Structure 1
Amino acid sequence: MTVTAPVTSARADAERPAHRDGNVLRWLAAYTASMIGDNVYYLALSWAAVRAGSPAQAGLVMTVSAVPRALLMLGGGVIADRFGPRRVVIGSDAVRCAAVLTMAVLFLSTDPGLWPLAALAVAFGTVDAVFLPAVGALPARVTARGQLARVQGMRGLGARLASVVGGPLGGLAVALGGAATAFGLAALLIAVSIPLLVSVRIRELPTDDDRTGAVGTGERPGVDAVDAVGSLEPAVGDAAGADGRAEEQSGAVGPREPSGEPAAARGGTAWRDLVGGLRYVRGHRVLAPLMLVIALGDLGFVGPLNVGLALLADERGWGAAGMGWTLAGFGAGAGAASLLLAVRGRVPHAGQVAAHAILAGSVAIGALAFAPGVFAAVGTAVLVGLLAGLSGALCAALLQTQSDPAYLGRVTAVASLVSLGLAPLGMPLSAAAIGVWGTGPVFVVSAAVCGLGGVVILCFGHLRRAELPR
């Protein structure tokens, strides 16, 4: 049974900051517990795979989950929109919990070897293809539209906490009881999220009456009235709002039924929903260039901050400790950006701020390769994390607030596919290029690719003028 918030409750929630909203805090606790469980699971899987086979075989086990995740991601977005993100997240967590718990039982009774571990990785990747779009679509259904930027900051803090806590917890579990204990702990943490998600109230999608101001008197149609019930109409000023309505009338966001949902989301085939979602993204004046920004950022950022940093530390003689401190600096900067957004809640001129943060962050990425020592590298990494974290959080918040909520699962799926598809490509390319030209030129080129994302924002007026809702 889905719990929905009535309009009166939505109005009250719109005035309540997300960090004081019990509904949002229950969602955040569920998300954080699930993410900590994920971190413990991946550590347990890698440890068990290394113990069961060669390093090459262990690496294959760790990567096979990427194939079904990439192939099925767009379909996962359709499922999230058709069945509702909360229902899909609960079902996904239940399947993930059962799969990991089964592996824990196997390790208690026997030594399963590599094949069961590979099967678990494939199953996890398949469920992730549904889980990730639903997770991205869920915040818009648990809080008011004006709180989505703050929620993105809170989500970033939860992800940082999971990455800091998950590794040591998994290592402790392995040390105390081996893979069985680690897999069991991961299953328990994922299971904790399920009752929390069940208790989360889901906001109804806005209706056409809500969008035209029929829910109250004296409200400006399409803006104030929509804000009161948490709709996600484009909010880039009066001119942009008019453009958004023109797009809707011309079919850019799909035909609407009286319920406020796109017709494709309420009937027809899954294929039709998928095609409709892709057309929606392609025809949207903010989301289409925003996807390009995300692609450029991931392509230029992931390589240097993963394999590139390891090669840089080896080249400069910083050692593993120096690399660790540099990564810690990046994490601290990114965490500070998430905290800033969680506390402030709204950043004016979000599109322009994101563009300038990307441009400044790209300069910092290029400068990292020329840091004279570990301390300078750590300071530069803090700056990279702060600027990249701020621009990333703002892009995620704009994606949430600019998307029609009935399409948000499919929009998130496209963004996730762009990231997951380009991130693995950037690492081997960076490693190969560094082997030929060295760290300095590759970091500079990668920084230029990142910087193009800021240029894209500045070149597309609707994205440049995009604002987060009040």
Structure 2
Amino acid sequence: MAITSTAAGPGRLAHRDPRVLAWLGAYTASLIGDQIWFLALSWTAVRSGDATQTGLVLAAGSLPRALLMLPGGAIADRVGPRRVVIGSDLVRCVVMLVAAFAVWASSPAVWLLVAIALVFGAVDALFMPAVGALPVRLTTRTQLVRVQGMRSLSQRVATVVSAPIGGAVLAWGDAETAFLLDAALFGLSLVLLWRLRPGAAPEAEAGTEEPELGLRAGLRYVARHPVLRPLLVITALMEAGFAIPMNIGIVLLADDTGWGPGGMGLVLGAWGIGAAIGALALTIVGRVPRPGLVLPVGMLVMATGLVGLGYAPGIGIAVAAAAVLGIATGVVGGCGNALVQSICAPGALGRVTAIQMLTGVGLIPLLYPVGGFVASAHGAPVVFAGGGGAMLAGVLVTVVTRPFRARPHPSSK
């Protein structure tokens, strides 16, 4: 039986809409599967080769995602996001079964792991922008803030549960069991999306036109859009300013200050709880009437939290700063994503989502060596100060972009 509903009206809240819940369940299952896959692949590579070969296998899984993300968004716009996510889930199920068989049969050669990682990374590059383009076909623009809050919550849940589940499965049944679990998770996502019947894409906003199909046309559309262009710059600055300190700087800071792994775990846990609170607040409130005010204020709070964390005199203040940073991250991230979804022409949403994800997932890891160099030369706190500076640059973009400042969010209408 297909999951269908009449066109969502103002009274149909996203958290009660079966189509939105089905999409959210598929997205959550896919996130958990992705993270367990990475753990299982890492474990298998370590047991099958040396450190250099392990790095080669992991790079093989990441490189296609960066290279194919934009073409993946263009494909989603051309053939429709539902078809792309269903096909991607089907291929990922098959890849996981092949990986499970390879590990069960014998210790797989490094070349086979590289091939499996390349295929999975390429398919993931198709899935990610397509699944992000579906919400506008499932609910009204007035519910997009709530949908993005729910999406952020699912990301927090996936982050919390994936590592313990993956570690337990690897300890109990080894890598083939983890790959079979992944096949089941991607199969669940496939079933939910197969039964999903999205509505027609909404019309583009008055005064804007649907761009032509194709990657170049999508890039031109973003470059010429008076609100999308600065908004994507803002989100890229936010992602860079956050990711480098919290992925590289936090490890070095914990070592320099003597907090150790336990203290680092407390800081990251406080951030995760704060981010969940921020996402939950968006889910409950469901509207952001002044994004031109909420985003810069939220990024100011993020800048304060980053600098406070980097220069905290003790673990207690560091935990408090991380919690504040997390709350602001949940609000700013959800609000920014909802605004992108609401103002983008539906026919370009796959490509625009791909641009967002490329800057947040594909390219930022390339800057990690820079963060490590800065920390080595000037100390870990400077990395956090640099992240705060990136946030302030984002605030400056909002201040000088009049169309962005003047724009009300559709959820306020």
Q: TM bucket by the smaller chain?
A: over 0.9
Distance 2:266 2:3 in 1: 45
> Bigger CA drift: 295-304 or 94-103?
295-304
Partner of 1:341: 282
Paired residue secondary structure (1:67): helix
How much does 1:330 deviate?
A: 0.9
Paired residue secondary structure (2:312): coil
User: Aligned pair 1:71/2:67, yes or no?
Assistant: yes
Match of 1:173 among 144, 169, 173: 169
Match of 1:410 among 351, 365, 371: 351
* Alpha-carbon contact 1:302-1:426 (below 8 Å) kept: no
How much does 1:47 deviate?
A: 1.0
**Matching residue's letter, 2:187:** A
Match of 2:12 among 8, 11, 16: 16
**Matching residue's letter, 1:54:** D
How much does 1:131 deviate?
A: 1.0
Q: Which has the larger radius of gyration?
A: 1
Partner of 1:360: 301
How much does 1:177 deviate?
A: 1.0
Distance 1:116 1:466 in 2: 51
| 1:75-224 matches, cutoff 5 A | 75-206=71-202
Paired residue secondary structure (2:302): helix
* Alpha-carbon contact 1:66-1:125 (below 8 Å) kept: yes
**Matching residue's letter, 2:178:** A
The alpha-carbon distance between structure 1 residues 140 and 55, as it changes in their structure 2 partners (threshold 3 A), is: same
> How many equivalent pairs are there?
411
Paired residue secondary structure (1:371): coil
Paired residue secondary structure (1:65): helix
**Matching residue's letter, 2:252:** L
Distance 2:224 2:41 in 1: 41
Match of 2:404 among 429, 440, 463: 463
How much does 1:63 deviate?
A: 2.1
The alpha-carbon distance between structure 1 residues 3 and 166, as it changes in their structure 2 partners (threshold 3 A), is: closer
Match of 1:291 among 223, 232, 235: 232
Match of 1:300 among 238, 241, 265: 241
Distance 1:164 1:3 in 2: 29
Distance 1:455 1:2 in 2: 47
How much does 1:58 deviate?
A: 1.5
How much does 1:4 deviate?
A: 7.5
* Alpha-carbon contact 1:232-1:401 (below 8 Å) kept: no
Match of 1:396 among 334, 337, 362: 337
Distance 1:446 1:426 in 2: 12
* 1:148-190 CA distance string (max 9 Å, x none): 1100011111111111111111111111110110111111111
How much does 1:407 deviate?
A: 0.8
**Matching residue's letter, 1:118:** V
Partner of 2:48: 52
How much does 1:2 deviate?
A: 9.7
Partner of 2:311: 370
* Alpha-carbon contact 1:313-1:322 (below 8 Å) kept: yes
How much does 1:65 deviate?
A: 2.1
* Alpha-carbon contact 2:302-2:324 (below 8 Å) kept: yes
**Matching residue's letter, 1:17:** L
Match of 1:437 among 362, 378, 384: 378
Distance 1:180 1:163 in 2: 22
Match of 1:385 among 318, 321, 326: 326
Identical positions, percent:
46
**Matching residue's letter, 2:128:** L
How much does 1:421 deviate?
A: 4.0
Distance 1:422 1:293 in 2: 15
* 1:378-401 CA distance string (max 9 Å, x none): 111111111122111111111100
User: Aligned pair 1:275/2:271, yes or no?
Assistant: no
Please report the TM-score for the alignment, with normalisation by the length of structure 1.
Answer: 0.84
* Alpha-carbon contact 1:352-1:458 (below 8 Å) kept: no
Please report the TM-score for the alignment, with normalisation by the length of structure 2.
Answer: 0.95
How much does 1:326 deviate?
A: 0.7
Distance 2:177 2:93 in 1: 14
Structure 1 unaligned runs (5+)?
207-230, 234-243, 255-261, 266-272
Root-mean-square deviation over aligned CA pairs:
1.7
Distance 1:137 1:316 in 2: 43
